[in-house]
Amino acid sequence: MTLGFTLAYLALIVLIPLTGLVLRSASLGFPGFWHVATDPRTVNALKISFGTSLIAAVINVIFGVIVAWVLVRYRFPGRRIVDAIVDLPFALPTAVAGIALTALYSRNGWIGHWLDLIGIKVAFTPIGITIALIFIGLPFVVRTVQPVMEEIRKEVEEAAATLGANRFQTITRVLLPGLQPAILTGFALAFARAVGEYGSVIFIAGNLPYVSEIAPLLIVIRLEEFDYAGATAIATIMLLISFFMLFVINLIQAWSRRRYGYGA
Amino acid sequence: MDVRVSGVRKEFDRFPALHDVSLDINSGELIALLGPSGSGKTTLLRLIAGLETPTEGKVFFGDEDASLKSVQERNVGFVFQHYALFRHMTVIDNVGFGLKVRPGSSRPSKDEIRRRSSELLDFVQLSGLEKRYPAQLSGGQRQRVALARAMAIEPRVLLLDEPFGALDAKVRKELRRWLREIHDKTKHTTVFVTHDQDEALELADRVVVMSQGRIEQIGTPDEVYDRPNSPFVYSFIGESSSIEVQVKNGELWLDGQALSISSDRPDGEGLLYFRPHDVDLIEDSNGGIAGTVVASRRVGATRRIELRIAGVTDHVEIEIPADHPATETSRIAFRPKHWRVFPKS
């Protein structure tokens, strides 16, 4: 009964729209699909989308874990406010975030001005895209890692210390391996969100074809040209790559769950 | 390794947890820190381990001042109430952890670590479970792993914080006996914290009774049970009854009557403490303490009665043979076989 419900719901909300997507792109026929897939502009857009998303997710994992650690382990004035700020990228309309980041990082913006002096251009380059993706992805890592971290008993660290482990060994051999499943989940969520992100990126990206044009934007451009089949073809490729990556991450998680004998 | 705690005081945020505690632990001894919660027993244990630093005072391992050393350098085996096993490591990796994190020069080879770990698992009767993860073990098994892990580093002293506190009663009794056997074989200097007097009396060579951040009494199980040196120890370990009395010329008086019980306390008000089961029943009005039975309960092999005694506010409990004819409202007189009088505080 519950299985039936789950399947019906999944089909209605997820599978049917995605099937429609794939069917629509199939109208191109394989040669047409292949033509879209190998078009240099498409390839570049996909490279930029997945490349910047990957970098942003990795950076988010590193700093997200640190932010979560600080929020869990330290008591300081304003901790609750910082805790609430972490969620802001969830709530803020992404376009607002994009405009704000562009204002900050453009050549005459507060931060972009100084970066420009040392020769780093952020706005209208893949670096800018990455920064926008870091911004929107951070809460995913923090919010998945934080509850698991809260469950780590101080005793486990103390046990490691009495056994002679120094701080570095305690972190790398005891704490991080215990958090690995949660960190992977956070990574997957931040990455998936970044791949599909549109609103915040298009303002800061500058959208130069072959340089700073992301795949979701290319889809919109094709739509505006009434090239629905072309748009769905790009979308199908994105879908396949994303599905493959998330599937691999899921496999790793299932494997580690089995190993540790508890849920991620 | 002898362990000496000398004049240690500990405050948490100005709140005193230990006041001027000193304790000598002999090499190879099994010592119990016994007290109610909040008595400071766990704090004392953690101070010995180096998990807390004393506000004042020092801890010596042998002649060496351990207060100057970090937890890592102290080389103590610590066993936590909730095991604190590393859940992403197999049982054997848990046991070998302490050896693996040693710096290069003193770290045994991989094979050596594996060999020693499985020897220890054998010793704690867990051979065959090497490849399991902690989540796949029972509570008792987890605590055995924790003990093997603590012993793997060849600790100078073993410290156990309520080691059986999270286990059910049956496993607890088994592990208690087993820990004693382990101690007799290894002769590690061992300190364990407990709030369970049976555990402390059965297991320890000496018992340290603590209350409100102070040591009340240190002694063998016989000493603390038979000769408690304070009202607290009297009432915390075993059963006790107390009666407010007057001391006059080395004799105890109650409600204007001499009880023919002697005391070496100076004249004044005092509290008479005795064990309810450790009394002689005597003929009424022949000295002794007389009262009216107000309640009677069968407790195991004996009968426990409550007496209302003239001049005493609270009812007093004593134990009498189960076949004693006394019923409610009968009069009974008794005299404790062993007793102590403490000044009325």
Q: Give, in order, the Cα–Cα distances in Å from A71 to each of A66, A86, A154, A185, B186.
A: 9, 10, 15, 19, 44
Average pLDDT value over all residues in chain A? 90
Amino acid residing at B150: A
pLDDT of residue B104: 84
Q: Is B153 on the interface with A (CB under 8 A)?
A: yes
> How near does any CA of chain A get to the CA of B190, in Å?
15
With a pLDDT cut of 90, the percent of chain B lying above it is 57
**pLDDT at residue A22, as a whole number:** 87
Give the minimum alpha-carbon distance from B135 to chain A in angstroms, rounded to a whole number.
6
Question: B1-32: b or e for each residue (b if 16 or more CB lie within 10 Å)?
Answer: bbbbbbebebeeeeeebbeebebebeeebbbb
Q: What does the pLDDT read at residue B285?
A: 62
Average pLDDT of B228-252? 90
What is the distance between the alpha carbons of residues A182 and A126, in angstroms, rounded to a whole number? Answer: 28
How many CB atoms sit inside 10 A of residue A210's CB? 12
Who has greater pLDDT, B318 or B313? B318
**pLDDT tens string B24-78:** 999 999 999 999 998 999 999 999 999 999 999 999 999 899 988 999 999 999 9
Can you give the pTM of this predicted structure?
0.80
Q: Which segment of A168-172, A231-235, B285-289 scores lowest on mean pLDDT?
A: B285-289
Single-letter amino acid code for the residue at B112: E
Assigned CATH for B265-343: 2.40.50.140
Percent of chain A topping pLDDT 70: 98
Q: Quick check: A264 contacting B, CB < 8 Å?
A: no
- The reply to whether residue A158 touches residue B82, judged by beta carbons under 8 angstroms, is no
Q: For residue A263, name the pLDDT band (cuts at 50, 70, 90).
A: very low
pLDDT in tens, B301-316: 889 999 998 888 888 9
Mean pLDDT of A27-33: 87
Let me know if the fold of B3-235 is the same as that of B265-343: no
- Give the up-direction half-sphere exposure of residue A218: CA atoms within 13 A in the CB hemisphere: 32
Q: Which residues of B touch A259 (CB under 8 A)?
A: 88, 133
* Fold that domain A28-260 belongs to in CATH: MetI-like fold (1.10.3720)
Q: Mean pLDDT throughout A41-57?
A: 94
Closest alpha carbon within chain A to B157? A162
State the complex-level ipTM. Answer: 0.83
* B15: phi then psi, degrees, rounded to nearest 5: -90, 115
Instruction: Give the orientation angle of helix A29-38 with respect to helix A16-26, to 10 degrees.
Output: 100
Q: What is the pLDDT of residue A260?
A: 64
Assign A246 a pLDDT band (cuts: 50, 70, 90): confident
The per-residue pLDDT for A28 is 85
What's the confidence (pLDDT) of residue B9? 93
Those residues whose C-beta lies under 8 Å from the C-beta of residue A125, and which sit 6 or more positions away, are A206, A211, A212
Average pLDDT of span B272-292: 84
| Spatial distance between the Cα atoms of B54 and B93, rounded to a whole number of angstroms | 33
Identify the closest residue of chain A to B146 by CA–CA distance. A159
A62–chain B Cβ distance below 8 A for any pair: no
Residues in chain B within 8 Å Cβ distance of A177 = 88-89
DSSP assigned state of B106: G
Does the beta-carbon distance from A161 to B71 stay under 8 Å?
yes
Is the pLDDT assigned to residue A95 strictly greater than 70? yes
Say whether B101 and A164 touch across the interface (CB within 8 A).
Answer: yes
Give residue A256's pLDDT band: very low, low, confident or very high (50, 70, 90). confident
Q: Give the pLDDT of residue A264.
A: 35
| Dihedral angle computed from the Cα positions of residues B64, B65, B66 and B67, in that order, rounded to the nearest 10 degrees | 180
Task: Tally the residues of chain B.
Answer: 345
Residues of A in contact with B71 (CB under 8 A): 158, 161-162
Beta-carbon separation of A162 and B101 below 8 A: no
Helix, strand, coil abundance in chain A, percent, nearest 5: 80, 0, 20
Helices (H), B36-109: 41-49, 71-74, 91-100
> A123: pLDDT confidence band, cut at 50, 70 and 90?
confident
Domain spans in chain A, listed from the N-terminal domain onward: 28-260
> Measured between CA atoms, how close is B95 to chain A, in angstroms?
10
Domain boundaries, chain B: 3-235, 265-343
Question: Can you give the pLDDT at residue B284?
Answer: 65
* B106-150 tens-digit pLDDT: 899 999 999 999 999 999 889 999 999 998 999 999 999 999 999
Q: Given a cut of 80, is residue B283 above it in pLDDT?
A: no
pLDDT of residue B251: 85
3-state helix, strand, coil in chain B (%, to 5): 30, 35, 35
Residue among A57, A28, A62 at smallest CA distance from A42? A28
Residues in B closer than 8 angstroms to A162, CB to CB, are: 49-51, 71-72, 74, 76-78, 150
Contacts of B102 in chain A (CB under 8 A): 164
Each residue's pLDDT tens digit, A153-166:
889 999 999 999 99
Q: Is the pLDDT assigned to residue A261 strictly greater than 80?
A: no
- Taking an 8 Å cut-off on Cβ atoms, the answer to whether B97 and A260 are in contact is no
| Nearest to A194, CA basis, from A20, A51, A53, A90 | A53
- CATH code at B3-235: 3.40.50.300
pLDDT at A57: 96
pLDDT in tens, B178-227: 899 989 998 999 999 999 999 999 999 999 999 999 999 999 999 999 99
